[in-house]
Amino acid sequence: MMNKRSTTQSVILYTLVLALVIFCVFPFLQILSTSLKHPIDWGNPSLIPRVLHLDAYKELLGLMPPKEADVPASVQRLLDNPALSAEKKQMLLDKFSSGGDVFPFGRYMLNTFVISFVTGICSTFLASLAAYAIARLRFPAQSLMANGVLFVYMVGGVLLMVPLYQMSVNVGLASSATGTIFSLFLIYLIQTLPVAMYMLGNYFRTIPFSLEEAAMMDGCSRVEAFWRIIMPLSKPMLFTVFIYCFVIAWNEYLFASVFLKQYQDFQTLPLALQTLFTSKNAIWDRIMAASMLTLLPVVICFMLANKHLSGGLTDGGVKG
Amino acid sequence: MSSVLIKNESRLGLKLVAPAVGIIGLLVIYPILFNIYLSFFDVQLNGTKTFVGMENYTDLLGNPRYFHSIGVSVIYLIGTVVGTTVLGLAAAILMNQEFRFRNLARGLILLPYFAPVISVVFGWQFIFDPVNGIYNHVVVDVLHLTDTRENLIGNPDSALFVVILFDIWKHFPIAYLLFLAKLQSVPKDLYEAAAIDGQNAWGRFWHVTLPELRFVIATVVLLRIIWNLNRFEDVYLLAPNVETLPIFTYYQAFAGIVDQGVAAAISVIQLLVLVGLIWLYVRKVLKW
Residue A76 counted as domain residue: no
Count of positions (residues) in chain B: 288
- Four-CA torsion A131, A137, A142, A143, nearest 10 degrees: 80
Q: What is the domain extent for residue A226?
A: 105-314
- The shares of helix, strand and coil residues in chain B, as percent rounded to the nearest 5, are 75, 0, 25
Model pLDDT, residue B232: 92
- Average pLDDT of the segment spanning B71-77: 96
Which of A158, A190, A195, A299 to substitute to test the interface with B, most B CBs within 10 Å?
A158
Model pLDDT, residue A314: 54
- Average pLDDT of the segment spanning A78-106: 67
Q: Identify all chain A residues contacting B92, using CB atoms and an 8 Å cutoff.
A: none
- Average pLDDT of the segment spanning B115-143: 87
Question: Do both A113 and A236 map to the same domain?
Answer: yes
In angstroms, rounded to a whole number, what is the distance separating the alpha carbons of residues A29 and B246? 31
- Average pLDDT of the segment spanning B40-66: 90
Question: Do both A159 and A260 map to the same domain?
Answer: yes
Residue A232: give its domain's CATH number.
Answer: 1.10.3720.10
- Indicate the number of domains in chain A: 2
Using left for φ > 0, alpha for ψ between -120 and 50, and beta otherwise, residue A141 falls in: left
Question: Do both A265 and A197 map to the same domain?
Answer: yes
CB contact under 8 A, A140 and B14: yes
Residue A185 counted as domain residue: yes
Residue A39 counted as domain residue: yes
Model pLDDT, residue B74: 96
B284 vs A217, residue with greater confidence: A217
CB contact under 8 A, B13 and A142: yes
A146 vs A78, residue with greater confidence: A146
What does the pLDDT look like over A134-144, one tens digit per residue?
988 888 888 88
Residue A100 counted as domain residue: no
Cβ pairs A/B, distance under 8 A: 292
SS3 assignment, position B41: strand
Q: Round the average pLDDT of chain B to a whole number and report it.
A: 89
Backbone phi, psi, residue A57, to 5°: -65, -45
Helix ranges (H only) for A154-176 are 157-171
Residues contacting residue B30 through CB under 8 Å, at least 6 positions apart: A163, A167
- Reported confidence tier of residue A166, pLDDT bands at 50, 70, 90: very high
In angstroms, rounded to a whole number, what is the distance separating the alpha carbons of residues A121 and A125? 6
What does the pLDDT look like over A203-232, one tens digit per residue?
888 888 888 888 888 888 888 889 988 899
CA distance B157 to chain A (A): 21
Residue A298, CA distances (Å) to A95, A311, B251 in order: 40, 18, 30
In angstroms, rounded to a whole number, what is the distance separating the alpha carbons of residues A190 and A103? 31
B189 vs A147, residue with greater confidence: B189
Q: Which amino acid is at A144?
A: L
Residue A320 counted as domain residue: no
- Average pLDDT of the segment spanning B39-47: 89
Domain boundary among the residues A53, A69, A86 is at: A53
Residue A156 counted as domain residue: yes
Rg of chain A (C-alpha set): 27
CB contact under 8 A, B191 and A154: no
Is A34:A53 a contact under the CB 8 Å cutoff?
no
- Average pLDDT of the segment spanning A105-123: 93
Question: Do both A121 and A189 map to the same domain?
Answer: yes
Model pLDDT, residue A207: 87
Q: How far is CA B91 from the centre of its chain?
A: 19
Q: What percent of chain B has a predicted confidence (pLDDT) above 90?
A: 44
Model pLDDT, residue A117: 95
CA distance B128 to chain A (A): 11
Of the listed ranges A231-235, B90-94, B187-191, the least confidently predicted one is: B187-191
Model pLDDT, residue A4: 67
Domains, chain B: 63-284 (1.10.3720.10)
| Cβ–Cβ contact A171 with B under 8 A | no
Residue B192, CA distances (Å) to A4, A210, A275 in order: 14, 41, 57
Question: Do both A182 and A300 map to the same domain?
Answer: yes
In angstroms, rounded to a whole number, what is the distance separating the alpha carbons of residues B43 and B263? 9
Model pLDDT, residue A53: 81
Model pLDDT, residue B281: 80
Residue A2 counted as domain residue: no
In angstroms, rounded to a whole number, what is the distance separating the alpha carbons of residues B265 and B60? 8
Q: What percent of chain A has a predicted confidence (pLDDT) above 70?
A: 84
Q: Identify all chain B residues contacting A251, using CB atoms and an 8 Å cutoff.
A: 116-118, 233
Residue A83 counted as domain residue: no
Give the count of beta carbons closer than 10 Å to the beta carbon of residue B243: 23
What does the pLDDT look like over B236-245, one tens digit per residue?
999 999 999 9
Domain boundary among the residues A53, A69, A85 is at: A53
Q: Round the average pLDDT of chain A to a whole number and report it.
A: 83
Q: Which amino acid is at A196?
A: A
Question: Do both A166 and A252 map to the same domain?
Answer: yes
Question: Do both A34 and A147 map to the same domain?
Answer: no
B194 vs B74, residue with greater confidence: B74
Backbone phi, psi, residue A280, to 5°: -125, 150
Is B76:B235 a contact under the CB 8 Å cutoff?
yes
pLDDT higher than threshold 50 for residue A316: no
Closest partner residue to A258 among B12, B127, B254, by Cβ? B254
| Cβ–Cβ contact A30 with B under 8 A | yes
- Residues in B 226-245 with any Cβ partner in A closer than 8 A: 226-227, 229-230, 232-233, 236-237
pLDDT higher than threshold 90 for residue B36: yes
- Average pLDDT of the segment spanning B147-171: 91
pLDDT higher than threshold 80 for residue B217: yes
